[in-house]
A and B are shown apart, each in its own frame.
Chain A
Amino acid sequence: MGFLDNTGDIILDVVLTDHGRKELSKGDGSFKITKFAFGDEEIDYSLFDSTHASGSSYYDLSILQTPILEAFTDNAASMKTKLVTYENLELLFLPILELNELKSSVQRHSEGAFIVAVDRYTEDDDESSTTNGIGLDSGGKEVPGVIFGESLDRGGAIMIDQGLDTNQISTKQSIDPDLRETEYTIQIDNRFGSIVDAKGNQLELSYIDDDDIAYYVVSEEEATAVRSISNLTKANESPIAGPRGSRLAFKIKSSMDLNTSTYLFTTLGGESTLTNRTPAGDTTLLYHIDSMVRITGMNSGYSLDIPVRFVKFKS
């Protein structure tokens, strides 16, 4: 007679995140845990081998042997990927978030990241043909991938589409309402910038954590940065190959610190060059800071990291 399996009940020690400690220290009741989620950030599901010759017991052997790290206390570094509940257990496809770069106004810069010019001088200098700015090309057109961090009525934007990225389901099919994302969180380092919608209107800040990471929650209801794209069915309208859910579009407004000072650039960044507006294709020496903007779907928990480089004219 064997022992009973007692693995169904597990007790774990919890560690507070740095943000949790900050909330607890306020003593105003703001520290209240009301919900939980499961994460699986160490798991590489591509190790799941459904063709393993030894049978189904071996399909996930490599996954189950994955070593697990101790808990991170940085709230921004934990729980990046979550498990999710869908009532339908027969789903074969799940929605993803994908950068929409179909138009030049929402493309990344040729450097591989979105470039945020933090002041007008870096954007466009004095708008003469001999400008040092990097926001316009020699023909006076906006350079793809350059976000104008001060003059928000011009420059590029970041656009993310959500949906089922498969050509096995027609774009004309409606996405399951459970799979449709209507609310997003945008995380950005608050020292560098803030989030505005595609028209330059400031979005409401949700909170700033202890590491100076600002969180913006935007939803389709507010109709500012999120909208439905279920009606867009043509291939050139979205990088999502199958049924489409929603679209998030926003810009980054540079912070006052980056706009007026080089301190953070010299402390946290480096120097690099970008082509400026001169017909000869000269380059401008810039200060730069590399950072990341993280988009997370509030319903699905799916997240996407977008590389962003903040630049400021040096010489």
Chain B
Amino acid sequence: MAESGAFKTLNDKDVVSTRTLLHEAIPITGTIVSGTYADGNIKNPPHGMYQSVYDYPYLSSSANHIFDITVGIGTQSGLTVASQPDKKKNIYNQMAQLLVGYDHTGSIQRFDEDGNIIGGGTKLDSVFVIPFSRLLVKDEIKKGTFQLELGVVSAHDQAGAVFAKRIQITDYSGSDGYFVNSPVGEYGVLYATASAGATVLALNKRYPVGLLYYQAGIAVISGSVFNDSVDGGILHTGIGSTCLLTDSGESGFNAVTASTTQAIATAIRNRIYNVQFNNTTELNSTIYFCRANHQEFNYSTNPTYTNASKIRVKTNSSDEPISYITTIGLYNEQNELMATAKLSEPLKKTPSTEFTIRCRLDY
């Protein structure tokens, strides 16, 4: 039997919770990062520990923070750091304790090149770190979608000539080869391949050059991407290590020893050709099935529905009553209006029709 009145109670079968993953493509072109706004979109905090990149001059209220760049040098890197040694060590330790965690003695573990921490192997002790803004990452970076392209022409240049030879860093195995032994969730290994120019890499293979933490939205990349094989890096000796700074010579990432974090961050920015990934938003929804059965909701309390109490849409009592739905209201037990939904056009309701309107509330 139909419930009389204006309200209909939702039973257990009328309410269902669902979880949906939404993905957005996030492309960041190198020109925004390195020159479109003449560095008006670059903020250097006075403590000098990192550099922030915005998508528009940051003094504008329209600007959105998109990522930071910082440098971390572990105590076992073998580099003798003269500029900001403590800050670079602190950054490394901060990132490592957060992203890799501690061993059984409580010591901070180092970044591992292939993610096999227990198995030992090569560690990443000289890295630059790119924490992406939550605005871009949302709930996580979608596995297998991350791409970072860096210009690796040896000569120093900040006008784009460095992009004649490029490497592409991807988490190509991320979708099915990720790790779960990090305190901050899942991560994948970043691999570098040549993407433009001839004889870019020392060997024609994928080099593991970093780690991408999907939920944290942080990329940790080895400085070896700017070094040739003589300097312990991945680049071909034919092109040599990159000259990151005007006066650093072809020392590649080893320039970090004599330069500030923000100077190195600027140098790296000017070698970013492109960054792109897809983010993921976990959408939890409750769907309310609002069912209008044939014998329900056929009349209206709209003041225009009657004229001197007579229903306008009927001539005789045997005529079908007609009503038109434009809005759905969702109420609590006390009849307080909690949420509303609108139809795009009036929906005709008669005793000959039935509708199930699914109302989705996203959280």
A residues near B (Cβ < 8 Å) are 8-17, 19-20, 23, 30-46, 48, 50, 60, 63-64, 66, 68-73, 75, 78-79, 81-87, 89-96, 164-166, 168, 178, 185, 206-207, 209, 215, 241-242, 297-303
B355: interface (CB < 8 Å): yes
Across the interface, name the chain A residue whose C-beta is closest to B306.
Answer: A94
Which chain B residues numbered 90 to 121 have a C-beta less than 8 Å away from chain A? none
Q: Which residues of B contact A66 (CB under 8 A)?
A: 324, 326, 345-346
B298 cross-chain contacts in A, Cβ below 8 A: 83, 85-86, 89
Residues of B contacting A: mostly: strand
Please name all residues of chain A whose beta carbon is closer than 8 Å to the beta carbon of B321 when the two chains form the complex: 89, 91
Most interface-central of B308, B330, B338 (chain A CB within 10 A): B338
Cα separation A12 to B328 with both chains bound (whole Å): 9
Q: Are B6 and A83 in contact (CB under 8 A)?
A: yes
Query: Hey, which bits of chain B sit against chain A, CB under 8 A?
Result: 1-10, 15, 286-288, 290, 292, 295-318, 320-349, 351, 354-362
Asked, given contacts A37-B7, A39-B328, whether A45 binds B300 with beta carbons under 8 Å apart, the answer is: yes
Query: Which single member of A11, A33, A46, A85 contacts B10 (CB below 8 Å)?
Result: A33
A35 touching B320 by the CB < 8 A rule? no
With a cutoff of 8 Å between Cβ atoms, the chain B residues found around residue A298 in the complex are 5, 335
A206 contacts which chain B residues (CB < 8 A)? 334
Contact A8 B8 (CB under 8 A): no
Taken together as a complex, chains A and B put the C-alpha atoms of A43 and B300 apart, in Å, by 10
A sample of 14 cross-chain residue pairs with beta-carbon separation below 8 angstroms, ordered by A number, consists of: A8-B356, A10-B343, A32-B332, A35-B331, A36-B330, A37-B8, A82-B300, A83-B297, A84-B6, A84-B299, A93-B310, A94-B306, A300-B301, A303-B301
Q: How far is the CA of A92 from the CA of B335 in the complex (A)?
A: 28
* Given A33-B15, A45-B304, A60-B324, 8 additional A-B pairs, CB 8 A: A14-B339, A35-B332, A43-B346, A45-B312, A46-B312, A78-B329, A92-B311, A302-B301
Chain B min CB distance to A75 (Å): 4
Closest to A33 in B: B330
Q: Are the CB atoms of B357 and A83 closer together than 8 Å?
A: no
Q: Is the CB of A42 within 8 A of B306?
A: no
**Chain A proximity of B320: nearest CB distance (Å):** 7
User: Complex Cα distance A91/B41, Å?
Assistant: 69
* B356 neighbours in A (Cβ, 8 Å): 8-10
CA of A9 to CA of B290, assembled, Å? 10
Contact assessment for B8 and A89 in the assembled complex, using a CB-CB cutoff below 8 Å: no
Assess whether A46 is in contact with B290, with CB atoms less than 8 Å apart: no
Residues A35 and B10 in contact, CB atoms below 8 Å apart:
yes
- For the complex, give the distance between the alpha carbons of A8 and B354 in Å: 7
Q: Which residues of A contact B348 (CB under 8 A)?
A: 60, 64
B314 proximity list for chain A (CB < 8 A): 92
Q: What is the CA–CA distance of A178 and B187 in the complex, to the nearest angstrom?
A: 63
In the complex, what distance in Å separates the CA atom of A209 from the CA atom of B331? Answer: 14
Are the CB atoms of A37 and B6 closer together than 8 Å?
Answer: yes
- A32 partner, pick from B315, B333, B359, beta carbons under 8 A: B333
Contact (Cβ within 8 A) B338 A23: yes
User: Bound state CA distance, A266 and B342, in angstroms?
Assistant: 38
CB proximity of A120 to chain B, nearest CB, Å: 35
Kindly report which residue of chain B lies nearest to residue A301, judged by CB atoms. B6
Asked if A14 and B300 make an inter-chain contact with CB atoms under 8 angstroms apart, the answer reads no
Q: Which of B327, B334, B335, B338 contacts A41 (CB 8 A)?
A: B327
> Is the CB–CB distance between A40 and B323 below 8 Å?
yes
Contact A84 B310 (CB under 8 A): no
Q: Cβ of A41: which chain B residues have Cβ within 8 Å of it?
A: 302, 326-327
Contact of B315 among A50, A79, A95 (CB under 8 A): A50
Closest Cβ of chain B: how far from A162's Cβ, in Å?
A: 11
CB distance from A70 to the nearest CB of B (A): 6
CB neighbours (8 Å) of B357 from chain A are 10-12
Contact between A36 and B340, CB atoms less than 8 A apart: no
Contact assessment for A17 and B338 in the assembled complex, using a CB-CB cutoff below 8 Å: yes
Contacts of A48 in B (CB 8 A): 312-313, 322
Closest 8 CB pairs of A and B: A301-B6, A39-B327, A20-B338, A79-B329, A82-B6, A302-B301, A83-B297, A12-B341
What is the chain B residue whose CB lies nearest that of A11?
A: B358
List the A side residues contacting B325 at CB < 8 Å: 38-40, 83
A206 to B308, CA, bound (A): 32
Contact present for B341 and A79 (CB under 8 Å):
no
Bound-state CA distance A11–B356 (Å) is 9
| A251 to B197 alpha-carbon distance, docked (Å) | 86
Bound Cα distance A38, B1 (Å): 19
